[in-house]
């Protein structure tokens, strides 16, 4: 299946767009710190899905999905930090946290599905 057809790819791409939007409101001094980390970690998810999907072996694909999952968990912390620093509201934090947790669940499902094939 082409990676663009995967729900986890579609949802993670939408999540990247949301991260770009929310970080526009962060203070300028965070541009090369927290903003950069949040953006890099967020686009790492769909890019790892895309790159892994093009690999020759299922085992390689799974490794890329592990990297995507690692980035997703990294984002969970960056969101907590953003909330605690007052850059996002509790409501927005909970909304984004739920979305990234859903993406993690989808990644886990895809990983488990691929593991059954090897």
Category of 89 on φ-ψ map: left (φ > 0), alpha (ψ -120 to 50) or beta: beta
CATH code at position 36: 1.20.1440.60
Kindly state the average pLDDT of the residues 42-66. 97
This prediction has a pTM of: 0.95
Give the integer Cα–Cα distance in Å for 83 and 100.
Answer: 15
Model confidence band, residue 73 (pLDDT cutoffs 50, 70, 90): very high
Mean pLDDT, range 30-40, rounded to an integer: 96
Element (H, E) at 67: helix 58-84
For residue 24, the enclosing domain spans 3-115
- How many folded domains does the chain comprise? 1
Name the percent of the chain lying above pLDDT 70.
Answer: 100
Q: Is the pLDDT of residue 118 over 90?
A: no
């Amino acid at each position: 299946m082409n990676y663009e057809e995967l729900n986890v790819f579609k949802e993670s791409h939408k999540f990247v767009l949301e991260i770009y939007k929310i970080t526009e409101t962060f203070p300028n001094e965070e541009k090369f710190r927290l903003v950069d980390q949040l953006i890099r970690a967020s686009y790492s998810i769909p890019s790892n899905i895309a790159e892994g999907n093009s690999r020759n072996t299922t085992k390689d694909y799974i490794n890329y999905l592990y990297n995507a999952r690692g980035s997703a968990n990294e984002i969970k912390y960056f969101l907590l930090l953003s909330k605690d620093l007052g850059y996002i509201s509790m409501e927005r934090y909970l909304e984004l946290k739920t979305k990234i947790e859903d993406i993690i669940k989808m990644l886990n499902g895809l990983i488990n599905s691929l593991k059954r094939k090897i």
